[in-house]
Amino acid sequence: MARIGITYEDVQRAIDTLLKRQEAPSVQKVREVLGTGSFTTISEHLREWRSRKEQRKDQPPSRSMPAPLQALAENLWEQAQQAANEGLAHYRLLADQQIAEAREQVAESGRRAEDAEQRESALSTHLTRLDERLTENSAELARSQADLDAAHKANKQQQAQMERLEHQASVAQKKLEERETHFQQRYRDLEADWKAQLNQEEKRHEAAEGRLMSLLDEARLEYRQAEKAQQAQRSRLEQQLDRTQDELKAQRQALAETQAEWQRARMLAEQREAAARSEISRLTARETAQQDDIATLTERLEQRDAQIEALETKLQDRLWMSLERVLNDADDKGPNQE
């Protein structure tokens, strides 16, 4: 129903004003003349005015005129009525075609909207998958970082062990040098004692030749014994020196093996660190690419939404303009033939 604010008489007066200006009445023009009113109310009153106008067209001319003039008027009335019906049928056919086209466009817009919704659903699913992949990549990155930290810790432990082994080797070398110096000093002391004893025996020989022979024999015997003892002690020292050198050689070999093992462990740690850094770079690149894909898809979705909204607005404008044009054409045709 029409609103109470704008009455039919107000709309009729506005239409009369437009007709005096030789302008075809329309909803927009009637509203401009009135200066107020809703399009729905004005449209209903305008349809009622057109309906009343059509009803007045169907009434034949008055018969209170002379017969010849009456016949001429009836003939002209029939011709005008026929022309009006033909024009109205033409405009009705044109309006039906435009309405069918508008409905087809509305259906096409509905299909496009459905396609857009399906694409939006697919994009949403794709974004969900991208989020899941991003979460997995973040977890893999955390695991790689943990492996890298473990490799650093193992490298530090191996380096500390290497330093301890080097310190132990240095202490062993120092002890070996001290023992070798001690043995050499002891050998020199024994040799000095033997020479001192030999000098004493020679002095006694000068003092008492007779006693010298016995002392010489005793000295020779003692000398031989001392020499044997010295040789035995020297042999023991040489054997102990050989054992010490063998032990030093074994420690040096163990140190070399430890250094080689440390080098291999260090190379392995560096390789793991390089691999971890490469994996981190790769995951960072993948994360950046996925974020770019998400931004691109979001931008495309916004563009599609804007296109659909613009299409719907354009379709509504075209429907309204088509309806206005049909109604205006029917009104223009009516006054001219009346």
Band of the pLDDT at 313, cuts 50, 70, 90? confident
pLDDT in tens, 176-219: 688 778 868 886 887 788 788 867 877 776 776 677 677 768 86
pLDDT in tens, 38-74: 899 999 999 999 998 887 655 555 544 566 666 676 6
Task: Tell me what the pLDDT averaged over the chain comes to.
Answer: 78
Amino acid at 319: L
pLDDT in tens, 84-124: 666 666 766 776 777 677 667 756 766 775 676 677 667 66
Q: What is the dihedral of CA 250, 252, 255, 260, to 10 degrees?
A: -100
Least confident of 159-163, 271-275, 282-286: 159-163
d(C-alpha 134, C-alpha 195), whole Å: 91
Band of the pLDDT at 3, cuts 50, 70, 90? very low
Both tokens assigned to 64 = 């209170």
- For the range 330-334, what are the long-range contacts, defined as Cβ-Cβ under 8 Å and sequence gap of 24 or more? 330/50, 330/88, 330/91, 331/24, 331/25, 331/26, 331/50, 332/24, 333/84, 333/87, 333/88, 333/91, 334/50, 334/53, 334/54, 334/57, 334/84
In this model, does residue 2 exceed pLDDT 70?
Answer: no
Ranges of each domain in the chain: 1-48, 146-301
Cβ neighbors of 232 (< 8 A, separation 6 or more) are: none
